[in-house]
Amino acid sequence: MREEPKIRELGEVCVRTKTIKWENHVNDEFEYIDLSAVSREELCITSSILINYKNAPSRAKKIVETGDIIFATTRPTLRRVAIIPEEFDGQICSTGFVVLRPNVKKVISSYLFYALQLEGFYSEMEALQKGAAYPAVTDDNVKSFRIPVPPLAEQERIVAILDEAFAAIDQAKANIERNIINARELFQSRLNQIFTEKGDGWVEKRLGDFLTFLNGFAFKSNDTVETSNVQLVRMGNLYQNVLNLDRTPVYYPDSYASLYERYVLKEGDLILSLTGTTGKEDYGFTVKIPETDKILLLNQRISKITITNDSFVSKGILYFFLISRVFLDVLYESANGTRQANLSTETIKKFIFCFPSDIVTQKAIVAELEVLLVQTKHLEKTYQAKYEALDNLKQSLLEKAFSGELTAKEVTKTAAKVI
């Protein structure tokens, strides 16, 4: 007869952990795991830094052992959770983590690790978090979360099933990611072909010969309001060449639309982000402003691009050039800065743009690329929906596992869904 699992708080099935006394380790070095070291996507430790008595950060205090589960209590909704692997046994993690060390007589590490991936756990942490700038929960908040704790043999059975099912799901997600990359590369390949294989009647001009740039304004953060019809377009809103106004929106008084009319964006305007991280391609994004019911203001480190003679070059072919690797490869090489990469519009004006002199030919190329772009976006949307469905499938399996409904048949069902 199947034994019903007992409901226990996490703290009841874990043992106490220790903090380091640095004065006893003045000659020792340790690998340090800070909050950024845990991958939110892979749920594992991806990096660490070497520290000692002299340079240890103030938060470098908690000792971890193989099999411990660490969870970031700072910004808990970011879902930073990982199992401590053998290579980090006896090392140090930030006090921004709660360290859960399973009592091996009551719970196995992997079972506890899966428990901290439950949607119900994150919902509870979100409800308990406090603080506006740096929302956080306490170690006791985490340890008070309740889970069913079946016998160890049953835990091992559940973990084995989840391991197999999650491995199949992760492989399917990796395939989807590859398909998305392939779709984007196909589009970029056509862009590169067009802008490198110069046809008859093509001309070469410096961008500054027919473009002007208007750099955005440094609006004061103290002037922001909770909501209005006037929204600031910031660099984060331009990510991956898509205007996302829902990403950390910032609003200013409605009066700003007239006070800063020079920086009001209109439908069809082209804007380019000018600052990012050195070594990363998280800037240089070009967006064409779509129709919107918001009045949009141009923020600093974003530039509006204006064609001075649209009978000479069309906005459409310029847009596709600006998102092509032909342009971007030169753009990123021109960036300056040690940690923060900055672009100069004066430098961009000197870039060469090769394009057909005939507007009719330009429009024909644009029409072809617009069709291909729509097809690419459709593929990405389809793949993204499948990707999200796999995440939902993981949660479904977890919920069944912790409600006692998970059987080996679920692996077969899961395999059928992810193929």
Residues 171 and 100 in one domain: no
Q: What is d(CA 140, CA 132) in angstroms, rounded to the nearest whole number?
A: 20
In the chain, the number of structural domains is 3
Residues 291 and 220 in one domain: yes
Q: What is d(CA 107, CA 149) in angstroms, rounded to the nearest whole number?
A: 7
Q: What is d(CA 129, CA 78) in angstroms, rounded to the nearest whole number?
A: 12
Residue 170 in domain: yes
Domain membership of residue 186 as a residue range: 151-201+358-419
Residues 140 and 156 in one domain: no
Q: Which amino acid is at 17?
A: T
Residues 251 and 164 in one domain: no
Instruction: Decide if 72 contacts 99 (C-beta within 8 A).
Output: no
- Digits of tens for pLDDT over the chain (419 positions)? 456 789 999 999 999 999 999 999 999 999 999 999 999 999 999 999 999 999 999 999 999 999 999 999 999 999 999 999 999 999 999 999 999 999 999 999 999 999 999 999 999 999 999 997 789 999 999 999 999 999 999 999 999 999 999 999 999 999 999 999 999 999 999 999 999 987 789 999 999 999 999 999 999 999 999 999 999 999 999 999 999 999 999 999 999 999 999 999 999 999 999 999 999 999 999 999 999 999 999 999 999 999 998 889 999 999 999 999 999 999 999 999 988 999 999 999 999 999 999 999 999 999 999 999 999 999 999 999 999 999 999 999 999 999 888 876 665 565 555 55
Residues 275 and 285 in one domain: yes
Residues 279 and 364 in one domain: no
Residues 173 and 280 in one domain: no
The CA-based angle 362-282-208, given to 5 degrees, is: 40
Residues 255 and 318 in one domain: yes
Q: Reduced to 3 states, what is the DSSP secondary structure of residue 162?
A: helix
State pTM to two decimals.
Answer: 0.79
Question: Could you give the count of Cα atoms lying within 13 Å of 410 in the half-sphere of its Cβ?
Answer: 24
CATH of the domain at 301: 3.90.220.20
